[in-house]
Amino acid sequence: MKSEIDRMRRADSAATRYKSATAGLSLLGVVLPEDLEGHRERFLGDAGRGVAADPRFTYREVDETRVRALREIHEEAAARDDPWHRLIADEAARYLDRYHACASHDGARLTEATVSENGTPDAALLADALALLGKDPERQGGGPEEDRDDGAGLSADVAATAISDVLAAEGLTDWTVRVKPGAAARMSVSTGDRSVRIRADVELSRDELVQLIVHEIGTHVFRWVNAVRGAHVLGLQLSGHTATEEGFAVWNEQRAADGNGLDRRFALRVVAVDAALRGSFTDVVDALAPYTSPGTAFDVAVRVKRGLVDTSQPGGFIKDHVYLGGYRMLDAHLTAHPGDHDLLMSSKWPLHRLDLLREAQVLEHLGDALRRPDEAFMDRVRTIVRG
């Protein structure tokens, strides 16, 4: 009798092609404004003179020929009479809808698509975020956001070396580290080309770098490596995955925090999403101003207003509240079900798909090969980062 993993593997070709097609249709790539550094310099200069205006963003032209491959995968998978091909077909259809919404740069369409995927912050989450921001009154005059545990800001190149050393120590020699100018995130993972990317202008304390490595490698990379050892469909980021993926990464990161509280960025992002839904780019910056520096307020505002051309309009790329919201969701679940940590590490699937993973006996298949961000991993990271 074939196992469910064996049945999943029948869809490996379609899953691999789906992953390749979506890598060429990156949602984040299509909503990344051009000349972001120029926009930042102009906005902050104008803000310093009291004349800041909502930026108008431009974007690279979309190559519609790349859509064809994903549309073909959808049609072929939908014609197959098994649940795993049908799952891939459904995901392809949803991804095409989100991609076209993002590529349209239409405020209402972009907002609707991203809200449908990620929801919006409720009153309780907003109150939680404001309470976290209010815990350090010394910061509420627009002072710098970053805490330095050692007074030393590590450059992107130094961080890249440490990350490369961690990947080598974990035997992940097919992964690379790239320093990328103009990125929205300080650090991110691309499973499409197996790379960890660092923003070129970043400065990190050693504690921050440890936590980011646990977040990015210990969670995002490890979940993907575990997943593709089973069946490739387990490595797909199914609809609704973002709150689980990022919330779980924050949850694991906090275990390596050595007593440091939650990163204030997660609370700032909730405030930014709430403001973006109702107001303009400058409204978002103004909402953040009591809690952080002008530069950080600009960077966070970009994250929620990217994708729009006219940023004076309400709405945007609504996603960033899932870091804090997902963390609270995962914390509640793992407090009640601590044994589900390994099951969550076994795939890239969202929390509401855990029953399918249990039924497929994914953990039994992985056995000792399962990678975890456990204490031994965290100690190795600390040793490499702190020398």
pLDDT tens per residue, range 353-377: 999 999 989 888 888 889 999 999 9
Three-class DSSP labels, 57-77: CCCCCCCCHHHHHHHHHHHHH
* Of 138 and 154, more confident: 154
Question: 216-258, pLDDT tens digit by residue?
Answer: 999 999 999 999 888 899 999 899 999 999 999 999 999 988 7
The torsion of the CA quartet 349, 25, 309, 114, rounded to 10 degrees, works out to -20
pLDDT, average across residues 120-134: 96
pTM as predicted: 0.87
d(CA 71, CA 53) in angstroms, rounded, equals 40
- The three-class DSSP label of residue 107 is helix
Reported as a pLDDT band with limits 50, 70 and 90, residue 2 is low
Q: Residue 283: is its pLDDT beyond 80?
A: yes
As given in the structure block, the two tokens for residue 329 are: 């969701």
204 φ, ψ to 5°? Answer: -130, 145
Cα separations in angstroms, 146 against 68, 70, 73, 204: 44, 41, 44, 8
Q: Residue 142: is its pLDDT beyond 50?
A: no
Question: 76-112, pLDDT tens digit by residue?
Answer: 999 998 999 999 999 999 999 999 999 999 999 999 9
pLDDT given at position 135: 62
As given in the structure block, the two tokens for residue 373 are: 């961000």
* Of 1 and 155, more confident: 155
